């Protein structure tokens, strides 16, 4: 058995508890990792409250946790890239999550050697937000030197990494944050920082190539006016599109729900000649290797707001859900 933070049922109010779970079974292509630290993400809260149960129908009891840093304990028979003792980090695949535990089994293809310059806690803060920024800016937007990008919520987990990655790619970056964080976000490299408590971004930004939206639907619609024709609006907070339902092999009715939810924004974007896409980040060890190289070269620095002890994982999630964290929140497991 192993210690884990266990969720018994969906619900905003329900609490996770520390208890015993069977050790994960190890597949032929999987690596058993002793967890040293786990990142806490808004996604954990959304799954816990049942927001994603149509997309990700998990079975209970469930162990959450989408970011892990730790040490390889054992490898499956077909694993070639890792050996016991390796220090690794990962965003485990959907349906294989469970970083809030002493041990986790992770697919070899979703795992990478952790950045050498980082502590376990710093490394655990990177995978989910690093992959989200990478897949948004490099894969989806194909962001080029000299292009203009508007990244919402510059002091949030994704925003911090996306700003640094966009600057590394040579883009001009605008972002939003609250009054207290304006100077700090400028130091990350943002060229224009809009204090959302005082100003409306849609009144001061114009002719942008890319918008990375992480806020509500109202903000998503306002973002259209920031983009030039041919621009790209990429949302990590929804609404999802029918193509996403195909990608995750969702049932027919789920695809119809997504079509309905995204009809309005897709229509408005099309009228302006803007490409709208929804991004739900996927696990990738190969991309994590490239991100590790950028971190070790100094191009990207993690920002950890607070580290909580293992038994206080629920408090860590409560803190993330206040939306006040500056950077990432991490749980130290050993």
CATH number for 93: 3.90.180.10
What pLDDT band is residue 248 in, cutting at 50, 70 and 90?
A: confident
Same domain, 172 and 215: yes
Q: What is the CATH number of the domain that holds 257?
A: 3.40.50.720
pLDDT in tens, 36-50: 999 999 999 999 999
The structural domain count of the chain equals 2
Domain contains 296: no
pLDDT score for 15: 94
pLDDT in tens, 16-37: 999 999 999 999 999 999 999 9
- Helix/strand/coil (H, E, C) string of the chain? CEEEEEECCCCCCCCCEEEEECCCCCCCCEEEEEEEEEEECHHHHHHHHCCCCCCCCCCCCECCCCEEEEEEEEECCCCCCCCCCCEEEECCCCCCCCCCECEEEEEHHHEEECCCCCCHHHHHCCHHHHHHHHHHHHHHCCCCCCCEEEECCCCCHHHHHHHHHHHHCCCEEEEEECHHHHHHHHHHCCCEEEECCCCCHHHHCCCEEEEEECCCHHHHHHHHHHEEEEEEEEECCCCCCHHHHHHCCCCHHHHHHHHHHHHHHHHHHHHCCCEEEECCCCCCHHHHHHHHHHHHCCCCCCCEEEEEEHHHHHHHHHHHHCCCCCCEEEEECC
Average pLDDT of 147-172? 97
Mean pLDDT check: name the lowest of 245-249, 253-257, 326-330.
245-249
Same domain, 135 and 176: yes
Domain contains 286: no
Same domain, 122 and 206: no
């Amino acid at each position: 058995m192993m210690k884990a933070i266990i969720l018994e049922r969906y619900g905003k109010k329900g609490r996770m508890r520390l208890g015993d779970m069977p050790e994960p079974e190890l597949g032929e292509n999987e690596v058993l990792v002793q967890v040293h630290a786990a990142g806490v993400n808004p996604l954990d809260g959304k799954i816990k409250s049942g927001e994603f149960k149509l997309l990700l129908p998990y079975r209970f009891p469930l162990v959450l946790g989408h970011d892990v840093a730790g040490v390889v304990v054992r490898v499956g028979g077909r694993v070639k890239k890792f050996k016991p003792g390796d220090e690794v980090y990962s965003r485990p695949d959907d349906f294989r999550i469970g970083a809030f535990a002493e041990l986790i089994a992770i697919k070899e293809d979703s795992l990478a050697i952790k950045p050498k310059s980082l502590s376990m806690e710093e490394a655990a803060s990177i995978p989910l937000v690093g992959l989200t920024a990478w897949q948004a800016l490099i894969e989806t937007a194909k962001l080029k030197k000299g292009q203009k990008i508007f990244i919402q919520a510059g002091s949030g987990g994704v925003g911090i990494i996306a700003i640094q990655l966009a600057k590394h790619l040579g883009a001009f970056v605008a972002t939003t944050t609250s009054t207290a964080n304006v100077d700090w976000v400028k130091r990350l490299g943002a060229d224009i920082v809009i204090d959302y408590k005082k100003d409306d971004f849609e009144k001061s930004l114009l002719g942008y190539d890319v918008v990375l939206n992480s806020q509500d639907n109202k903000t998503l619609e306002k973002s259209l006016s920031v983009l030039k024709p041919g621009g790209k609006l990429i949302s990590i907070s929804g609404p999802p599109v029918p193509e996403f339902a195909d990608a995750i092999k969702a049932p027919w009715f789920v695809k119809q729900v997504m079509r309905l939810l995204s009809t309005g924004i897709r229509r408005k974007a099309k009228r302006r000649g803007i490409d709208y896409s929804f991004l739900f980040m996927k696990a990738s060890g190969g991309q994590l290797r490239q991100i590790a190289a950028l971190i070790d070269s100094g191009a990207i620095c993690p920002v950890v707001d607070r580290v909580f002890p293992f038994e206080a994982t629920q408090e860590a999630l409560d803190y993330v859900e206040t939306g006040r964290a500056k950077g990432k929140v991490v749980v130290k497991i050993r």
